Amino acid sequence: MGIRLSQIAKTYGRPGTPRALEPIDLEIASGELVGLLGPSGSGKTTLLRIIAGLEQADRDPAGTIHFGSRDVTEVHVRDRRIGFVFQHYALFKHMTVFDNVAFGLTVQPRGQRPSSGEIRARVHQLLEMVQLERFAQRYPAELSGGQQQRVSLARALALRPEVLLLDEPFGALDAKVRQDLRRWLRHLHDELNFTSVFVTHDQEEALELSDRVVVMSDGRIEQIDAPAALYRAPANRFVFEFLGDVNRLEGEVRDGALTCGEARLAVDLPEGPQELLLRPHELSLEAAPSAAAHLPMTVTAVVPVGAEVRVELAADWLAEPWLATIGHGDFERLDVRRGQRLYALPQRWHRFAAEGRPATQPSLA
Ligand code: ADP
Ligand code: MG
């Protein structure tokens, strides 16, 4: 079931106080898995709670929420057929895993409630799906954090919601468990074919899991796009900086080159002060400068763990250190060590005009 928000805004407290959410339009397709990504305080939870019906949107502007063709703006949370998962598992401590998952079904009104046999079958099926069948008779305290969160997922799915809402569902878990649970969620989402909206402040999580990501800041939507498109074509500087590590090069452009202290980079830009931004993988390291780039740097740290080698670099002409990610081949060829002098060769860079304006196309240096 698709979700359509039109002019949804939220002010906490008196009218006239700053809005937690500026009027937002958002359309989520049926079966989509959408991530709400943004720093703390950007309005993600507020937006999710409004979709859920746990929070009332402002009356001015008079926004609307549709689930499919149904206007649910004034529909109570209980009647929206939504599943929830929150960061803190909020399982009932005094109930077994089985009873936790069954709870939503057992408290349904008599007419709608499945028979106890059906409830049992459905709960077992759900526990099987999250691979916790063996734990049906345990209590939450007897499970790990990741297992408890899987119980929360099963519980949220017991009423067969068409919309699943998750607020930082993996936030309290350690990195490895978080990875596993992401795969879980993706798998369940694809298999059961509901529409999911999940909140996260973790870029990697949003990019890995979402069909589309809604990037938020200060109660506004900065960009909505598929992960690859977001990364390739950020709408503005905020999105670019929020989605990954950034190296900055500030200098003065004259005669086709940007200079900054002893550093120089050939560029085709208007004369005057300029700031270029580079991702760590958008530069290579060499033992000598090239004709186009003379960016001497000193290696301050090397982390050779993982698929790539992370090299931290410093220079007198830089206000902040840079980070380069290079292949293990280059790492060995250059024999990269702390204290070594190397030259950065940008393959591409990005430039953004004043706040909020679109990015210029990245160029090849
Ligand atoms: P996020 O989930 O992105 O961290 P929130 O939606 O929780 O952001 O918060 C957005 C803004 O609204 C913040 O400035 C926050 O302080 C404010 N806010 C959130 N909930 C309440 C509330 N119940 N009462 C007053 N202000 C709130
Ligand atoms: Mg939040």
Predicted confidence (pLDDT) at residue 362 exceeds the cutoff of 60: no
Where in the sequence of the chain do the CATH 3.40.50.300 domains occur? 3-234
Which pLDDT belongs to residue 349? 92
Residue 50 CB neighbour total at 10 angstroms: 23
Residue-wise pLDDT tens digits, 251-299: 999 999 999 999 999 999 999 999 999 999 999 999 999 999 999 999 9
Pocket test for ligand 1, best of 10, 12, 51, 215 (most atoms within 8 A of CB): 12
3-class SS at 331? helix
Q: Which atom of ligand 1 is nearest to the CA of 40?
A: 4
pTM (predicted TM-score): 0.87
C-alpha to C-alpha distance for 179 and 293, rounded to whole angstroms? 39
Sign of torsion, CA 106 111 116 119?
negative
Any ligand 1 atom below 6 A from CB of 140? no
C-alpha to C-alpha distance for 281 and 203, rounded to whole angstroms? 17
Provide the 8-state DSSP code for 327: -
Residue-wise pLDDT tens digits, 156-173: 999 889 999 999 988 878
Q: What's the 354 CA to ligand 2 centre distance in angstroms?
A: 28
Any ligand 1 atom below 6 A from CB of 42? yes
Among 340, 313, 315, residue whose Cα is nearest residue 261: 315
C-alpha to C-alpha distance for 122 and 128, rounded to whole angstroms? 10
Nearest CA to ligand 1 atom 16: 41
Pocket test for ligand 1, best of 45, 58, 168, 213 (most atoms within 8 A of CB): 45
Where in the sequence of the chain do the CATH 2.40.50.100 domains occur? 247-362
Residue-wise pLDDT tens digits, 74-109: 999 988 989 999 887 689 999 999 999 999 999 988
Task: State yes or no: cis peptide before 61, omega within 30 of 0.
Answer: yes
Mean pLDDT confidence for 127-151: 93
Sign of torsion, CA 59 64 67 73?
positive
Mean pLDDT confidence for 328-333: 96
Q: Say if CB 223 and CB 247 are below 8 A apart.
A: no
Mean pLDDT confidence for 55-66: 94
Left (φ > 0), alpha (ψ -120 to 50) or beta: where does 160 sit? left
Residue-wise pLDDT tens digits, 295-315: 999 999 999 988 999 999 999
Provide the 8-state DSSP code for 361: P
3-class SS at 127? helix
Q: Which CATH architecture has domain 247-362?
A: Beta Barrel (2.40)
Which pLDDT belongs to residue 172? 77
Question: Does domain 3-234 sit in CATH 3.40.50.1100?
Answer: no
Banded model confidence at residue 364, pLDDT cuts 50, 70, 90: very low
Residue-wise pLDDT tens digits, 345-355: 999 999 987 65
Banded model confidence at residue 178, pLDDT cuts 50, 70, 90: confident
Banded model confidence at residue 356, pLDDT cuts 50, 70, 90: very low
Q: What's the 221 CA to ligand 1 centre distance in angstroms?
A: 15
Q: What's the 14 CA to ligand 1 centre distance in angstroms?
A: 14
- List Cβ neighbours of 127 (8 Å cut-off, separation of 6 or more): 97, 98, 101, 133, 135, 136, 154
Chain position carrying tokens 């309290």: 172
- List Cβ neighbours of 260 (8 Å cut-off, separation of 6 or more): 249, 250, 251, 252, 317, 318
Nearest CA to ligand 1 atom 24: 12
Which pLDDT belongs to residue 361? 46
Report the percentage of the chain scoring pLDDT > 90: 78
Q: Which secondary structure element, helix H or strand E, spans residue 341, and what is its range? A: strand 341-346
**CA-based diameter of the chain, in Å?**
81
Q: Which atom of ligand 1 is nearest to the CA of 49?
A: 6
Q: Which residue has the higher pLDDT, 38 or 108?
A: 38
Which pLDDT belongs to residue 181? 86
Q: What's the 202 CA to ligand 2 centre distance in angstroms?
A: 12
Any ligand 1 atom below 6 A from CB of 20? yes
Nearest CA to ligand 1 atom 10: 43
Which pLDDT belongs to residue 112? 87
Q: Which atom of ligand 1 is nearest to the CA of 219?
A: 10
